[in-house]
Amino acid sequence: MADTFRSLEHRNARLFFVGLLLSNIGAWVQFTAVAILVDRLTGRTTALGVLTALQFLPMLLLGAYAGAVADQRDRRRMAMLTQGALALQAIALAVFDLTGTINLGIIYALTLVLGIVSAFDNPARRGFVTELVPERDISNAISLNTAVMTGSRIFGPAIAAMLVGPIGTGWLFSINAFSFLAILGSLFFLDRSALYMAPRVPKGGTPVRDGLRYIRRTPTLFVPFIVFAIVSTFGFNANVVFPSMAREVWGAEYWFGWVLTTMSIGSLLGSLLTASRPVVTLRWMIANGVVLGVAGIALAWSGHVWLALLLAIPMGLGGAGFITSLNAITQQECPPDMRGRILALTAVAFLGSYPIGGPITGLIGDYVGLEWSLAYGAVISLCAVFALAWWALGRRVEESRYQVLRNLLSSSSPVAASPSEHP
């Protein structure tokens, strides 16, 4: 337990993570409410796929550039600006809904605004996490950051599920707007003298291409990164499917929030298990990917809601463990002045892939079947993870052969031989 939460020894980390938790609970309240509202207005998974695409398309297009901007500027100030803008987006959504003027076009437009701001917020906020703790605790802080983000899903969707009937979606959007006071307050009251500031990258040059080149020239990052992008594109689109499954398979729309809640319990466990490891390995990433894929296939044909609630736990555990593993591995490998860019590139691979996978999943749900819209991504994810395992095994065998050959050459060298071996 001490190893799992060692980053919380630092006051700045404690303050930031509390504010982040409260704010993200509000964000998941809004996310769940928006999905329910769009499903009410349209009744089609394709509309939810378009919503997902609009939210994450800016990350795909702007994410790498936003990471370079975060490396060049004060990440704390940048995070305060982006969080303030996200609060304004939530206020606008609440006003339109409470006044009865909300429609699908307004939801799509405000979702696009959310996506643009989030593209810059993500690398700034996540990069700032590395400045809260010393070098030795960075992988733990990154894992705890994911634990906070996923742990907030335990409460946010549950709150939305309980309150969407009594108070409506408009007041749920208001709850999210109010929750931004927590993260803005934590950023304001941090002890700036106790921050472990990373060196700023000079403006100009080719910062994005430098980050891409670094990943391309580092095999231990490049191959896992490609697999991560594939799994992210097809294996994390449950949110597109769950609202329709709740209505058509599980019997009521509020089950969407409850299944997200149980999945989030698993996500929290996966993040904390990763945080407890002194060093995160590729083997750990592969194991979590297998759990994600198998649980996704089982959940697709679970049928009964209570079985779905149970299977959502390992699905969340494997998904969070898979994401957190790559984030930790990249931060263990990359230099401090490149962390913002590398985090942005992983965010592009994860969040930026939704505009591709989300609409595909929606179309499969409408024209093939809800079960297959969830299962196809799990199957593709398992194939990609098995390919990564095969590559890792081959790399290990190659390194072992190289080490044996090196030892043989060393032992046969006259220089390496002991004096007693030469009469």
- How close are the terminal C-alpha atoms of the chain, in Å? 59
By the 8 A CB rule, do 56 and 358 touch? yes
Sequence-distant (6+) residues with CB within 8 A of 370 are 45, 241, 244, 245, 248, 249
Please give the Cα distance from 322 to 225 (Å, whole number). 11
By the 8 A CB rule, do 194 and 10 touch? yes
> Is the residue at 192 inside a domain?
yes
Q: What is the pLDDT of residue 175?
A: 94
Per DSSP, the three-state class of 417 is coil
Asked whether residue 71 carries a pLDDT value surpassing 60, the answer given is yes
Q: Is 33 exposed, middle or buried (0-12, 13-18, 19+ CB in 10 A)?
A: buried
Distances (CA, A) of 95 to 17, 42, 101, 354, 371: 29, 21, 9, 28, 36
Q: What is the pLDDT of residue 35?
A: 87
> Is the residue at 419 inside a domain?
no
User: 85 versus 155: which is more confidently predicted?
Assistant: 85
Lowest mean pLDDT, pick from 102-106, 162-166, 178-182, 348-352: 348-352
CATH of the domain at 120: 1.20.1250.20
User: 142 versus 94: which is more confidently predicted?
Assistant: 94
Q: What is the pLDDT of residue 397?
A: 63
For residue 336, give the DSSP letter.
Answer: G
By the 8 A CB rule, do 49 and 361 touch? yes
**Predicted confidence (pLDDT) per residue in 122-151, tens digit:** 888 888 888 888 877 777 787 788 778 877
Total count of domains within the chain: 1
Asked whether residue 402 carries a pLDDT value surpassing 70, the answer given is no
Asked whether residue 419 carries a pLDDT value surpassing 50, the answer given is no
Q: What is the pLDDT of residue 108?
A: 93
Q: What is the pLDDT of residue 98?
A: 92
Asked whether residue 353 carries a pLDDT value surpassing 90, the answer given is no
How confident is the prediction for the chain on average, in pLDDT?
83
By the 8 A CB rule, do 26 and 175 touch? yes
Q: What is the largest CA-CA distance in the chain?
A: 98
Please give the Cα distance from 166 to 30 (Å, whole number). 16
Q: Which of 98, 143, 202, 182 is nearest to 6 (CA)?
A: 143
> Is the residue at 150 inside a domain?
yes
Identity of the residue numbered 94: A
Q: Which two tokens stand for residue 339?
A: 């962390």
Say what percent of the chain tops pLDDT 90: 28
How many helices, marked H, and strands, marked E, lie in the chain? 15, 0
Asked whether residue 155 carries a pLDDT value surpassing 90, the answer given is no
Asked whether residue 109 carries a pLDDT value surpassing 90, the answer given is yes
Q: Which of 94, 101, 69 is nearest to 82 (CA)?
A: 69
Q: What is the pLDDT of residue 25?
A: 93
Please give the Cα distance from 59 to 360 (Å, whole number). 18
The domain in which residue 79 lies consists of 6-199+207-408
> Is the residue at 284 inside a domain?
yes
For residue 2, give the DSSP letter.
Answer: T
User: 405 versus 193: which is more confidently predicted?
Assistant: 193
User: 228 versus 140: which is more confidently predicted?
Assistant: 228
Residue 58 binned pLDDT confidence (cut-offs 50, 70, 90): confident
Residue 422 binned pLDDT confidence (cut-offs 50, 70, 90): very low
Q: Which of 374, 266, 361 is nearest to 321 (CA)?
A: 266
Q: What is the pLDDT of residue 418?
A: 42
Residue with tokens 């305060």: 80
Asked whether residue 178 carries a pLDDT value surpassing 80, the answer given is yes
> Is the residue at 421 inside a domain?
no
By the 8 A CB rule, do 154 and 260 touch? no
User: Which of 64-68, 109-113, 249-253, 343-347 has the largest mean confidence?
Assistant: 109-113
By the 8 A CB rule, do 47 and 362 touch? yes
Asked whether residue 114 carries a pLDDT value surpassing 60, the answer given is yes
User: Which of 61-70, 127-136, 269-278, 304-313 has the largest mean confidence?
Assistant: 304-313
For helices 339-350 and 219-235, the axis angle rounded to 10 degrees is: 30
Say what percent of the chain tops pLDDT 70: 88
The count of C-alpha atoms lying within 13 angstroms of the C-alpha of 19, restricted to the half-sphere facing its C-beta, is 22
**Predicted confidence (pLDDT) per residue in 356-379, tens digit:** 787 888 888 888 888 898 899 999
**Predicted confidence (pLDDT) per residue in 230-257, tens digit:** 998 898 888 788 888 888 888 887 788 7
User: 232 versus 66: which is more confidently predicted?
Assistant: 232
Q: What is the pLDDT of residue 292?
A: 94
**Predicted confidence (pLDDT) per residue in 4-57, tens digit:** 778 888 889 899 999 999 999 999 899 889 988 988 888 777 787 788 788 888
Q: What is the pLDDT of residue 201?
A: 63
Asked whether residue 405 carries a pLDDT value surpassing 70, the answer given is no
User: Which of 155-159, 292-296, 401-405 has the largest mean confidence?
Assistant: 292-296
Q: Which two tokens stand for residue 117?
A: 């701001």
> Is the residue at 415 inside a domain?
no
User: 406 versus 273: which is more confidently predicted?
Assistant: 273
Locate the DSSP E strands across 196-308: none
Q: Give φ, ψ of 192 to 5 degrees.
A: -70, -25
Q: What is the pLDDT of residue 352?
A: 63
